[in-house]
Each structure stands twice: as C-alpha cells, then as structure tokens.
Structure 1
Amino acid sequence: MSNNDNPWEQPPSGEGEPSGYPQYGGQPNQGGYGQPPAQGGDYGQQGGYGQQGGYGQPPAQGSEYGQAPVQGGGYGSPQQYGGAPLATQSGLSGWGKRAGGLLIDVIVPGFVVYIVVIVASAINGKLGLLVGLILYLGLLAFHIWNRWLNGGRTGQTLGRKQFGTKLIGEETGQPIGPLTAFVRDIAHLVDTVICYIGWLFPLWDTKRQTLADKIMKTVVIDVR
C-alpha cells in the first residue's frame, strides 16, 4: 500500500483544507475565518456590537443608558414650574401653619409689649413713655434678628420652626437672604392695605402665596 492510501496519515501543513480554517497539526491562521480580530474587541469590532461604548453610542460619563444624569436642586426632587424648581402641592405649607408662625413671630410679642406699655402709662405717663421706648426698641431688635437675619439666612424664624415651615425662593429653592426678607416684610403692606385680603390668599392660591410672596417670588414649604 502506498503512502497516499494510508487514511490515518495527515496531509502536509497547508494542504488538503480550505484556506482560513485552523490547521490540525499546524500553526492556525490568526483570527479564524480568514480575518484577524481587532485588538481588544469582541465580535471583530472594538468595544463590542460594532461600536465603542456599546450599541452604537458612547455613554455619557457618569450616566446610564447614554444620558447624563440631571442634577437635582432645591428641596428634594422638585418638579419643574416654568423651568425653575418648585415644591409639589403636598410640600407647600397651608394657611394655618403660616398664620401660626406669624402669630409667634409678630402678633404675640407685639401684643405683649402693647399691654405692658398701656399698664405703665396708666400708672405714670413718663414711666409709660420710658417703658414703651425700651420695649419697642427691644421688639424691633428681636424682629430684625428673628425675621430678617436668622429668617433670611436659614428660611426659618422661631415661629416657622415651631410649625415646621421654611421660607425659600420660588426659583432657587434656597433661603432668600436678610435683605430680601426685609423687603418681603415691607411688601406685606400690599396684603394689608386691601383690607388684609392679601394675607388670606394662601387659602385659595395654587402656590399658597400671599401677594408679597408673588411680588418677591417666594414660597413657604413644610420641612417635617
């Protein structure tokens, strides 16, 4: 029997098999199927599935599914209102809480000072003037600290803390600052001159704002 008739004998390297297939007993062709694979890639393409980054689009840095994350702002996860953050309806403080905070911050201290001055004046006119001057200066200093400095920087006065509310800018979602807090209190004159109706606006307004809030673009939210 000749060598060519031996079925167990392997053909020489590079003979007897189609080009591109790996050789049995010889050096396989690089890449297989006649094409070398791209370095570091899958399925013959860099990055997998034909493009770098997957599925034909490179993902944005720090995001999922090719979209950059939207940065949050303001208080929690605010909804958008005219392109600016605004508390949801459930996050806006009702009229009762707002009135309670104002009662502690303004009405009760003013009423107490008024009663003391009346009593002192009834005892002695000069004493009443002296007591009234001291107490009203003290009341003004308390108002400056509580409503404008502390309230403007943190959004909370003593009364707002007691009722769990906070004053913030409608567009920024942050405390409005002492100067804006001062101007807002001046703007409350508009709520007063129309027979105090402006103070009642939070009862029916969709943003639960007084007229001063609308002028200064502020809202009061719940923080509890």
Structure 2
Amino acid sequence: MNLSIILVFVLFLLFVTVSQSLTPRQIIPSPVTIEKVGEQKLAATIEWDGIDNNDNQTLFASLECDPLQAIEVENPFPYPVFSDRKVVFDLTVLISNVSVTCVGEMDTNADLIPDELSQLLPVKQITPKLFTVDSTGTNKYVATIKWDGTLNDDNQKLISDFDCHPKESVTIENAPQYPIFGDRKVSFDSTVQKTGNNISCSCNTDIYPVAEGLSTF
C-alpha cells in the first residue's frame, strides 16, 4: 500500500516536469514590405523568426489583396520552409489610382486552408482623406491633402502629387511634393488660367519610393 502511494507521487512529478519543458512552436513574422520591381509589378515580402522550428519544416504563407479587380497576387499560397526566413509574393497592378489593402498571414501548420488562417499581419500604408480646395485670391486656390496611416514612422518620407485637367485651364505650382509622415498634411498652390471650364483634379499620396497602385484616391 505504501509502495502504491509513492509510485503515484513520482509519476505526478514526472508529468509536471515534462509539461513545463514544452516550448510552443511558433512563427514570429515581420510586417509585410512592398516595393516596386517593374512596370505595374510589385513584390511583397514577409520575413520571420520563430521558436522550436526545424529548418526543413514547411510553413503556410498567404497574401490577399482587396479589391481583387485592382491587384492580382500571382502566387498567393506558397509553401516555404522555415530556413528560407522570408517569402516573396509577386503582384500585378491591374487598376491604378485605387486604394488597395493587403493582408499577409503565416502559420506553422502547412495544412491550413485560407479561411483557417491564424495570424494577421498589419500592412504599412497611408490612409489619405479627401482633399479640400480653398480660394486664396483672384484665380488662386490651395488644395490640402491630409492623411493617417499604419506602421509609419513620423520621419518617413512620402510622395504626394496633385493633378488637374484640362491642363491648359489650371497650373499646379508645386507638385509633386515630398512631405514626411509626421506632417499629416500637404498643400498645393494652383492658378486658374482659363475660367468657365469644368476642371477635375486628382491626388495621390504614398510611401516613398512610390509603390504604384497603392494608397491612392
């Protein structure tokens, strides 16, 4: 009887010791970075580190962008191995001047399907607001663009452009500009050369160097 009690106690200690020594296997991804690699071509890169992973372990990686009609992910579901330490997605811009949001996801379980993804990675992006136009004098106007964003450093350089048509009717005096993210706004001075015409204007603010087709409005 005494022997039985001692045996149960020893087994309990072994269970506790083993359970405390287990380290959860996980992937520690970095935010998605996007760069222009050609005409209407972008490359989105996800790098990672991890805990208790075998270098030959196959991972699940995915990148999805919305709206689908504006940008195509040519290799949305590659299966890298852990030792690669990064995966690159090839993107083709189908429609420019459209705001695009991309979400990258990774997991140690290579058998996941898209609706079972477990980790959402935030995307570095600019979120511009509608521009405002104010009169500053006879045939003189100033257009102001403001923005917010995610994962941006206040000193990060941006590119901001403003364009109006027909070009012979209005002159933009200081476009493009290269503000920093912390400015949170930029202003463009314009002079109307011909009155009585319908004038349409568009603007674009993006992380510099520009990734064509992203963060525009």
Query: Would the TM-score normalized by the shorter structure come out above 0.5?
Result: no
**Structure (1/2) with the larger helix percentage:** 1
What TM-score range do you get, normalising by the shorter chain? under 0.3
Structure-2-length-normalised TM-score: 0.23
Question: Which one has the largest radius of gyration?
Answer: 1
Structure with the bigger RCO (C-alpha within 8 Å, sep 6+) is 2
Structure-1-length-normalised TM-score: 0.23
